[in-house]
Structure 1
């Protein structure tokens, strides 16, 4: 589910980490570096275009994920051990535009990198961090609801059950940033992501480990104040189950239609429940649960159209926000894949350890991209 990988999340797919030592080209041979394989963490922004991150830098594809390259110059330096690769704050705004927040540890600058030309050149901006832990943040999330407005949520390593959190905001397209405040007390949870429907209304989703409520929080004043979102617990969330909520996706007129995913874990078995809204997130209601499905194996194109990889090698699809699902394909690759994403109603990808397939018909048939062409 790419919304998990933009705002969160982006999460390591399970492929082998590919470092600079695996680079195939040399400066004398080409003006760009070609990646052997594919990025651990990637997002397709169009039918052909997409972005990826590895320890070797930020990569771009222009051929539907068949090959990945970046220029020899102006590449973004990856941070050290302070930030795990899959938890690096980033935002891929389109085929040409990307944001990366790289942190280097105490007493060193926390730097934003921004490109508008597919990574050929990058501008840098300093995030005006206030605390030393922010200079080596443990995890971060970034979201831009529009061209001028954007938010960055930074989180520390958890200590004694507490994780520090800070929120930053831009209103001029990222040229300057201000610290909205310390959210540690108001977001008493471990965040999984952040999203804003517009410049004022936003959500932070979190993991739940035995708390009585689903730990999802909402702001209506641009992040200055937050309150728990009122989500009625589904029947599946009972007993010793715990949950992970993930950032809602909004679409339709004035972005009034929304879908908010909730992953439930009970006795080691994962299932999904999806909350829907038709009033921009003012109220939510949950639909039926789907057993044998986990969050990273779901994808939402908009608040109505979604896909899910279910145990047993099944690919399911919905066009009503998760109210009903139908099987569109079945195969062993669906069991092996750890992630799925769609950039259009027809074009999608599944990935995982030595798994990279694409579809051009909504998931009915698939092509193995790792086979020689």
Structure 2
């Protein structure tokens, strides 16, 4: 929601004319521009040694350069656009992964982070792992220095090219030698909250520190999150949320036992200065059966917790509170409609359906969507549908998604994007689909080599955190997702 502040339309972009034709790549001793690769002869051999997964073609090109020093024309990084039904689909350029000596192996999963106070002494390349842009220039992110230790909180003022480390140093030093993860919420250009938690330890009885800033990360204050008063305290997968500078919540998983999952839910009405426990492992106001994925509030009283049903309790897991989290009632969602949806989806215990945390898209907190994915029973493969509410949760309507596995993003109630795996035999591994009617219809607008998590601040301006060859990269669009250009982010001391 905060990313929609201070938005105004500057101009209408023609996606055909504004298409970027070339990708500029720069590394030590080499520049690719206007389809030509220039490289210092004395580093060509070194580059070949460091970058093992080069194609045979590029190997020959660089070897030729190393012995001759000549300029070599190479293939266009953005291939010819394939002819498909309207809207025209563009193939995006291949992502360039930056490496430093020695090369870092590709990361194929997310191991626990060993946090250490890594000091940044000079401008350094950084991998942005998560991103929230407030406007076209200002934004926040979670980043990691390649070959460095730990995740850091960073802030940009130029659209994501240059970043500054704003992680509170007190939090870093307090977690030296521990395996920790980080949860953040960025409300606007100035206000943010941070929570660190250990991934392999029981929650400390002294409580946990919640860090907050009101000046863009220049200064930070902390408050204690109380963790006493309930039995299971394996605090994990925490998430922070705020609807304004005062009202917020923290959701955390406390542990699982067969088909039961216990959670902790805290709320604050003073911007995080103090926290009140609403749900714990000992609570009877929310059923322990079923998985829990997250919580969201639309004001100080009304909120929802979403999750997945247990096999002996068919239907969906969505519970609502109207008293700030003290009591909860089940929300009965309508059975989805669409192709190949089983008639017994919500009546048979053979299916497991999981709901993402509802996400509001307007300032009045009336319009929200959630994605449901179901498996099991008579389903040959997983299916996903969107649930929309246009009246703050009083009623819901559904639309089926093209494929179950994908990353969904909406700007408002009409424009949306869906990054999914392409069909076998397609010209690229992934594709981005677009809807202009809230998910009723979808069209492919871009074919990519990477899986992406998208974030839009207007109908045409957006960013993506993409997964490519086991690493993270950052891209941007200025034409609604038709074309994408890569950003090579740097972090300053």
Which band: TM-score by shorter chain? 0.7 to 0.9
How many Å apart are 1:370 and its aligned residue?
4.0
The CA RMSD measured in Å over matched residues stands at: 3.4
Structure with higher Rg: it is 2
- SS of the residue 1:281 aligns to: coil
Does residue 164 of structure 2 align to residue 52 of structure 1?
no
Give the Cα–Cα distance (whole angstroms) in 2 for the partners of residues 308 and 44 of structure 1: 19
Partner residue of 1:36?
125
Give the Cα–Cα distance (whole angstroms) in 2 for the partners of residues 63 and 15 of structure 1: 30
Indicate the structure whose relative CO is greater, using CA pairs within 8 Å and at least 6 residues apart: 2
Task: Specify which of 140, 150, 160 is matched with residue 65 of structure 1.
Answer: 160
Task: Specify which of 25, 36, 60 is matched with residue 120 of structure 2.
Answer: 25
- For residues 241 and 340 of structure 1, do their structure 2 counterparts lie closer, same or farther at Cα, with a shift above 3 Å needed? farther
Give the Cα–Cα distance (whole angstroms) in 2 for the partners of residues 218 and 161 of structure 1: 21
Unmatched 5+ stretches in structure 2:
4-106, 145-149, 423-429
Give the Cα–Cα distance (whole angstroms) in 1 for the partners of residues 231 and 487 of structure 2: 41
Task: Specify which of 298, 308, 311 is matched with residue 418 of structure 2.
Answer: 308
Contact 1:83–1:138 at 8 Å: present in 2 too?
Answer: no
Give the Cα–Cα distance (whole angstroms) in 1 for the partners of residues 489 and 279 of structure 2: 50
Superposed counterparts of 1:120-131, under 5 Å: 120-131=218-229
- For residues 294 and 22 of structure 1, do their structure 2 counterparts lie closer, same or farther at Cα, with a shift above 3 Å needed? farther
Instruction: Please say which of residues 115-124 and 252-261 is displaced more in the overlay.
Output: 252-261
- SS of the residue 1:63 aligns to: coil
Contact 1:349–1:358 at 8 Å: present in 2 too?
Answer: yes
Instruction: Output one character per residue of 1:103-142: Cα deviation in whole Å (capped at 9) or x when no partner.
Output: 3533343110001222221100011222477765112222
- SS of the residue 1:234 aligns to: coil
Instruction: Output one character per residue of 1:193-250: Cα deviation in whole Å (capped at 9) or x when no partner.
Output: 2111122111111134544111111111111111221112325364854322112223
Q: What TM-score, normalized to structure 1?
A: 0.80
Does residue 328 of structure 2 align to residue 234 of structure 1?
no
Contact 1:203–1:218 at 8 Å: present in 2 too?
Answer: yes
Task: Specify which of 291, 309, 321 is matched with residue 190 of structure 1.
Answer: 291
Task: Specify which of 450, 454, 458 is matched with residue 340 of structure 1.
Answer: 454
Partner residue of 1:165?
263
- SS of the residue 2:479 aligns to: coil
- SS of the residue 2:364 aligns to: helix
Partner residue of 1:8?
none
Partner residue of 1:138?
236
Give the Cα–Cα distance (whole angstroms) in 1 for the partners of residues 405 and 384 of structure 2: 6
Does residue 387 of structure 2 align to residue 275 of structure 1?
yes
Partner residue of 1:294?
405
Give the Cα–Cα distance (whole angstroms) in 2 for the partners of residues 102 and 133 of structure 1: 21
Contact 1:317–1:325 at 8 Å: present in 2 too?
Answer: yes
Give the Cα–Cα distance (whole angstroms) in 2 for the partners of residues 143 and 194 of structure 1: 8
Give the Cα–Cα distance (whole angstroms) in 1 for the partners of residues 190 and 363 of structure 2: 26
How many Å apart are 1:15 and its aligned residue?
7.8
Partner residue of 2:480?
362
Task: Specify which of 73, 90, 97 is matched with residue 191 of structure 2.
Answer: 97
Contact 2:114–2:179 at 8 Å: present in 1 too?
Answer: no
- For residues 158 and 36 of structure 1, do their structure 2 counterparts lie closer, same or farther at Cα, with a shift above 3 Å needed? farther
Task: Specify which of 170, 186, 204 is matched with residue 305 of structure 2.
Answer: 204
Contact 2:314–2:351 at 8 Å: present in 1 too?
Answer: no
Instruction: Output one character per residue of 1:286-344: Cα deviation in whole Å (capped at 9) or x when no partner.
Output: 12x1232435x1112333332101321321122332222233x22233xx224222232
Give the Cα–Cα distance (whole angstroms) in 2 for the partners of residues 19 and 89 of structure 1: 15
Contact 1:22–1:35 at 8 Å: present in 2 too?
Answer: no
- For residues 371 and 60 of structure 1, do their structure 2 counterparts lie closer, same or farther at Cα, with a shift above 3 Å needed? closer
- SS of the residue 2:261 aligns to: coil
Give the Cα–Cα distance (whole angstroms) in 1 for the partners of residues 280 and 227 of structure 2: 11
Contact 2:255–2:263 at 8 Å: present in 1 too?
Answer: no
Q: What TM-score, normalized to structure 2?
A: 0.62
